[in-house]
Structure 1
């Protein structure tokens, strides 16, 4: 799948542990969740628990600590300029799902190709066109039904692409958020998708199917090239 889509980094497996994880991984103290995701997509095995996580919003999402008052009141959103009113900023941080306090102990992120445990969620962060094919695979799995995604353009990695797929058992996408874009190397043309692992084998098979016809034809851009030729000929006359 990585070869077919031309992904620049690894798809990342995410495993939720209800007790301390005993895996060979780096406990990345002080890391935001999106930073742990970044390291995992470049090939590292990363663990985050209550003692390591360095982002108060992600910590609240995973039930490690309460959401700080500045976020709940909307003051933080107003201060950094992502909301024009405190009430709007406050609603941005209302989570549709979250983990209860003490529900989990560790979150383990790793390159999917090097799995030593079965992940709960797979996250792919890459160019939007690659995310499109993954989403189209999910549409096929859904029998052709439209896929609704949920985001407030906050908590892109922790909530949108981990907690929602895990808790609701649905695919979810995100174009990123203020936090991940100041804290990681996510590119301006990149987005994220979180896929429950139960769907992943089907997604991978569909990517192979798309590679037989749809992907190469789309990337060849024959219709666009023909249009350019028409305009070029018209301009010469």
Structure 2
């Protein structure tokens, strides 16, 4: 594919984009396409609502195994994650940090609250999120989540700076990792992020001890794949 071809993708091209990512990085899991849906009428055609209630991190891993679906706040079991993703207002104890302080993750409520204030959060305006393995996506993803080992993350980082240079910033705090760090953050800031997972995602989803999570913005994924092939 040419530079022009890969930098802007149509929905039908995501199968090839996904295969290139898997092939060039040696991924064991499919990259996951995620789309934010503002209104019920905007749900991509043919995508069913999830028939299970899960945490967002679990939904990501379910999609990486081949499932396509959307989920509203009602299907999201982790309300802190749902709030970070703009599906609902944050519960008060999440917002104030009391919840994470109670788990023993911080020495004080103040430290927990400051961390919660710094975590990327989308205003609660979303109706749902659509999830799909990238190769099956019939929509343009806002964010693409890649789960891999540190060596694969390194190669992806090299591809991200291949064209324009610069550095890849990793922004995380060990909590709300797959929701805030790898999806809400890239969506809001329009730049990729690498995160190490969190206690919740490592407990409830299938993320392995040697895996990290990379959140990519959807609009330039073709350029990233093009760079991977040239390196």
After superposition, the C-alpha distances for 1:10-44 in whole angstroms (9 at most, x for unaligned) are 00111111112243235144211100001011111
1:40 matched residue in structure 2 = 63
Among 162, 172, 177, the residue aligned to 1:151: 172
Once residues 136 and 169 of structure 2 are traced to their aligned partners in structure 1, the CA distance between those partners, rounded to angstroms, is 31
Asked if 2 retains the 8 angstrom alpha-carbon contact of 1:153 and 1:176, the reply is yes
Secondary structure in 2 matching 1:159: helix
Q: CA deviation at 1:81?
A: 2.4
1:107-129 C-alpha deviation (Å, 9 max, x unpaired) = 01110011211111111011121
39-48 vs 8-17, which moves further: 39-48
Counterpart of 1:168?
Answer: 189
1:28 and 1:36 in contact (8 A); partners too: no
Determine whether 1:93 maps to 2:113. no
Normalised by the length of structure 2, the TM-score is: 0.84
Distance in 2 between residues matched to 1:165 and 1:74, nearest whole Å: 23
1:68 is matched with which residue?
A: 91
Which residue of 132, 150, 158 maps to 1:110? 132
Contact 1:45–1:111 (CA under 8 A) maintained in structure 2? yes
Q: Structure 1 length normalisation: TM-score?
A: 0.82
Aligned-residue offset at 1:97 = 3.6
Q: For the Cα contact (< 8 Å) 1:174–1:191, is it kept in 2?
A: yes
Further displaced range: 33-42 or 69-78: 69-78
Q: 1:178 aligned to 2:199? A: yes
* CA positional deviation for 1:133: 0.8
CA shift in 2, pair 1:8/1:27, >3 Å:
same
Would you identify which runs of 4 or more consecutive aligned residues in structure 1 move more than 3 Å? none
Structure 1 alignment gaps of length 5 or more: 211-237
**Using a 3 Å threshold, how does the CA distance of structure 1 residues 104 and 74 change in structure 2: closer, same or farther?**
closer
Q: Alpha carbons of 1:198 and 1:191: their partners in 2 closer, same or farther (altered >3 Å)? A: same
Quick one: distance in 2 between partners of 1:62 and 1:74? 17
Shift in Å, 1:162: 0.9
1 or 2 for the larger relative contact order (CA 8 Å, sep ≥6)? 2
Is 1:194 aligned with 2:215? yes
Deviation at 1:75, TM superposition (A): 2.4
The 1:154/1:23 distance shift into structure 2, 3 A limit, reads farther
Larger radius of gyration: 1
